[in-house]
């Protein structure tokens, strides 16, 4: 069978680019010099004109099993021909139940009740709403406050934005939710610079929750939401002991703990979830991205048995939680999720990531002496390389390095002046070498 032709966009005129308002993109400069991707397989993209680009970012932290997995494509195609869509409200279809059961097998013990969404942003808002519903159902309707953390990213819907802690994302969008406060971030390069794995210092940062409890009263606080490792704000692994301390404080005050594992899930940190890797189980866990290997948009929230039972069994007859999406548990997404979970199981991708971790760590830290590198941090198959910003021109250095890498056949991601690397978990030594050498040359060239 002939493959479908790949859209090339070769010779695209500016008019061809006008209609699209691109997300989180410098539209004006992109449309002057577009960076296009036309095909993907394994560790690589190819531009429409056939240039190979090694993917050091798993797309956008999401193609954990590598690109173009035929098992996933086949499952999606089969399902599209069998059941294009079924409403998830008051109706069901077998794949959504199967996908939830399969997912519950890999979520941390006790987090076995799965609510499907379509994205990480929707997962964050869903988890926050479930937390509020839980407290109301158990007679503590006064617990309405939501605690996030500086430099946290929980997507861009109003709930996730409100608990999020990235200023540029929040500014300009009004007062956001009023019932929110934030913990301080954990980044402390003066004590933890160039740490390998979890930084040694900073567990006491979790104690800031005690201050918020003293300020607002525990009986007003519903939940704390954190990324176990902050990704989008520049790769900030949790200090040793920090997450355990947060768990203890939440327990002490009857506050739910939510882990946003949209990035850290599905093998990224060398275990199925960060909760498993660092031995701390939250009450709610949000995910997306790697769940379907990004082949179809999908997110999910895993809730504890207690939360599910409290909300469902205390409700009057009828709908228990007034929340859901037209595409919650979409058949194509469920098919992709099941096929993805099969791959993770059969190829033990989390263990594979863990086995590559040391080589990855040594390789990224070899960039330490390149010009303007002020910090390097890593965990699992993630690394953050922080650069000294150019005087008066923050973000410019990293942006130019990103462009240079792309021209040299390497896709990296930058946040402010931090380079974030998160390659597919199927990475091999030769790919690691190529990432470090291409990136190292680009950093030096932009000195
Ligand atoms: N939460 C975290 C931790 C993320 O990293 C992201 C996206 O990068 C999101 C939520 C939002 O996910 P989405 O872009 O699918 O809405």
- ipTM attached to this prediction: 0.99
Delimit the domains of the chain by residue range.
14-64+348-445, 72-347
Ordered strands of the 221-226 beta sheet:
113-117, 299-303, 284-287, 256-260, 221-226, 145-149, 180-183
Residue 6: what pLDDT? 58
Distances (CA, A) of 298 to 94, 118, 359, 385: 17, 4, 32, 29
Answer yes or no: is the C-beta of 120 below 6 A from any ligand 1 atom: yes
Higher pLDDT, 13 or 386: 386
Hey, what are 116's tokens? 């499907």
User: For ligand 1, atom 1, which residue shows the shortest CA distance?
Assistant: 154
1: pLDDT confidence band, cut at 50, 70 and 90? very low
Give the pLDDT confidence of 191-206 residue by residue, as tens digits. Answer: 999 999 999 999 999 9
Distance 153 CA to ligand 1 centre (A): 7
Which of 213, 276, 290 has the alpha carbon at shortest distance from 243?
276
- Over residues 219-244, the mean pLDDT reads 98
- Ligand 1: which atom is nearest the Cα of residue 152? 3
- Over residues 173-180, the mean pLDDT reads 94
Give the pLDDT confidence of 252-277 residue by residue, as tens digits. Answer: 999 999 999 999 999 999 999 999 99
Q: What is the distance between the alpha carbons of residues 67 and 55, in angstroms, rounded to a whole number?
A: 9
Q: Which class for 396: exposed (0-12), middle (13-18), buried (19 or more C-beta within 10 A)?
A: middle
Distance 291 CA to ligand 1 centre (A): 12
Distance 329 CA to ligand 1 centre (A): 18
Same fold, 14-64+348-445 and 72-347: no
Residue 16: what pLDDT? 84
Question: 148, 228, 289, 413: which to mutate for ligand 1, most atoms within 8 A of CB?
Answer: 289
Q: In the predicted model, what is the mean pLDDT of the chain?
A: 96
Answer yes or no: is the C-beta of 294 below 6 A from any ligand 1 atom: no
CB 376 within 8 A of CB 365: yes
Answer yes or no: is the C-beta of 288 below 6 A from any ligand 1 atom: yes
Distance 343 CA to ligand 1 centre (A): 23
- Ligand 1: which atom is nearest the Cα of residue 230? 3
- Ligand 1: which atom is nearest the Cα of residue 227? 3
Is 7 a residue whose pLDDT tops 80?
no
Distance 150 CA to ligand 1 centre (A): 16
User: For ligand 1, atom 13, which residue shows the shortest CA distance?
Assistant: 120
Q: What is the distance between the alpha carbons of residues 414 and 404, in angstroms, rounded to a whole number?
A: 12
Contacts for 418 with CB less than 8 Å, ≥ 6 apart: 234, 235, 384, 385, 386, 387, 398
- Ligand 1: which atom is nearest the Cα of residue 61? 8
User: For ligand 1, atom 12, which residue shows the shortest CA distance?
Assistant: 120
Question: 288, 301, 422: which to mutate for ligand 1, most atoms within 8 A of CB?
Answer: 288
- Ligand 1: which atom is nearest the Cα of residue 160? 10
Q: What secondary structure letter does DSSP report for 19?
A: S
Hey, what are 389's tokens? 């910003």
- Ligand 1: which atom is nearest the Cα of residue 121? 16
- Over residues 233-242, the mean pLDDT reads 98
Give the pLDDT confidence of 374-411 residue by residue, as tens digits. Answer: 999 999 999 999 999 999 999 999 999 999 999 999 99
- Ligand 1: which atom is nearest the Cα of residue 297? 15
Q: What is the distance between the alpha carbons of residues 221 and 254, in angstroms, rounded to a whole number?
A: 8
CB 439 within 8 A of CB 405: yes
Distance 169 CA to ligand 1 centre (A): 13
CB 124 within 8 A of CB 159: yes
Give the pLDDT confidence of 324-372 residue by residue, as tens digits. Answer: 999 999 999 999 999 999 999 999 999 999 999 999 999 999 999 999 9
Answer yes or no: is the C-beta of 155 below 6 A from any ligand 1 atom: yes
Distance 330 CA to ligand 1 centre (A): 19
Give the pLDDT confidence of 345-356 residue by residue, as tens digits. Answer: 999 999 999 999
CB 75 within 8 A of CB 335: yes
Q: Which CATH number fits domain 14-64+348-445: 3.10.20.30, 3.30.450.80, 3.90.1150.10, 3.90.25.10?
A: 3.90.1150.10
CB 116 within 8 A of CB 88: yes
Answer yes or no: is the C-beta of 154 below 6 A from any ligand 1 atom: yes
Answer yes or no: is the C-beta of 227 below 6 A from any ligand 1 atom: yes
Whose structure tokens read 């006491």?
A: 204
Class of the CATH domain delimited by 72-347 = alpha beta
Answer yes or no: is the C-beta of 121 below 6 A from any ligand 1 atom: yes
- Over residues 138-164, the mean pLDDT reads 98
Phi-psi region of 151 (alpha: psi -120 to 50; beta: other; left: phi over 0): left
Answer yes or no: is the C-beta of 231 below 6 A from any ligand 1 atom: yes
Is 86 a residue whose pLDDT tops 50?
yes
- Ligand 1: which atom is nearest the Cα of residue 119? 15
Distance 425 CA to ligand 1 centre (A): 19
């Amino acid at each position: 069978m002939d493959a479908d032709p790949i859209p090339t966009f070769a010779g695209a005129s500016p008019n061809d680019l006008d209609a699209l308002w691109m997300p989180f993109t410098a539209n004006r400069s992109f449309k002057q010099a577009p960076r296009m991707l036309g095909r993907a397989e394994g560790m690589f993209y190819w531009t429409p004109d056939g240039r190979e680009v090694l993917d050091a970012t798993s797309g956008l932290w999401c193609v954990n099993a590598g690109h173009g997995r035929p098992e996933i494509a086949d499952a999606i195609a089969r399902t599209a021909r069998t059941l294009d869509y079924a409403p998830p409200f008051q109706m069901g279809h077998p794949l959504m139940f199967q996908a939830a059961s399969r997912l519950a097998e890999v979520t941390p013990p006790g987090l076995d009740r799965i609510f499907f969404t379509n994205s990480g942003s929707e997962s964050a808002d869903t988890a926050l709403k479930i937390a509020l519903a839980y407290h109301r159902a158990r007679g503590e309707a006064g617990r309405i406050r939501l605690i996030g953390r500086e430099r946290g990213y929980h997507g861009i819907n109003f709930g996730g934005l409100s608990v999020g802690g990235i200023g540029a994302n929040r500014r300009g969008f009004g007062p956001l939710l009023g019932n929110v406060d934030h913990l301080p971030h954990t980044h402390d390069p003066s004590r933890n610079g160039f740490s390998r794995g979890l930084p040694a210092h900073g567990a006491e940062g979790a104690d800031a929750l005690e201050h918020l409890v003293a300020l607002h009263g525990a009986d007003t606080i519903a939940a704390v939401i954190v990324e176990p490792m902050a990704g989008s704000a520049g790769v900030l692994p949790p200090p040793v002991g920090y997450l355990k301390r947060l768990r203890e404080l939440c327990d002490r005050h009857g506050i739910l703990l939510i882990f946003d594992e949209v990035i850290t899930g599905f093998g990224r940190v060398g275990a199925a979830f960060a909760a498993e890797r660092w031995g701390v189980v939250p009450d709610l866990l949000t995910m997306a991205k790697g769940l379907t290997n990004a082949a179809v948009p999908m997110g999910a929230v895993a809730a504890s048995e207690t939360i599910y039972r409290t909300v469902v069994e205390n409700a009057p007859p009828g709908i228990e939680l007034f929340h859901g999406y037209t595409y919650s548990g979409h058949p194509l997404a469920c098919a992709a999720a099941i096929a993805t979970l099969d791959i993770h199981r059969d190829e033990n991708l989390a263990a594979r990531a863990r086995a590559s971790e040391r080589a990855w760590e040594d390789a990224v830290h070899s960039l330490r002496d390149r010009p303007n590198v002020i910090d390097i941090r890593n965990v699992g198959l993630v690394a953050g390389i922080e650069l000294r910003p150019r005087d008066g021109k923050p973000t410019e250095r990293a942006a130019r390095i990103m462009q240079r890498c792309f021209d040299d056949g390497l896709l990296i991601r930058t946040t402010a002046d931090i380079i974030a690397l998160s390659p597919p978990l199927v990475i091999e030594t030769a790919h690691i070498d190529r990432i470090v050498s291409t990136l190292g040359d680009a950093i030096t060239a932009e000195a």
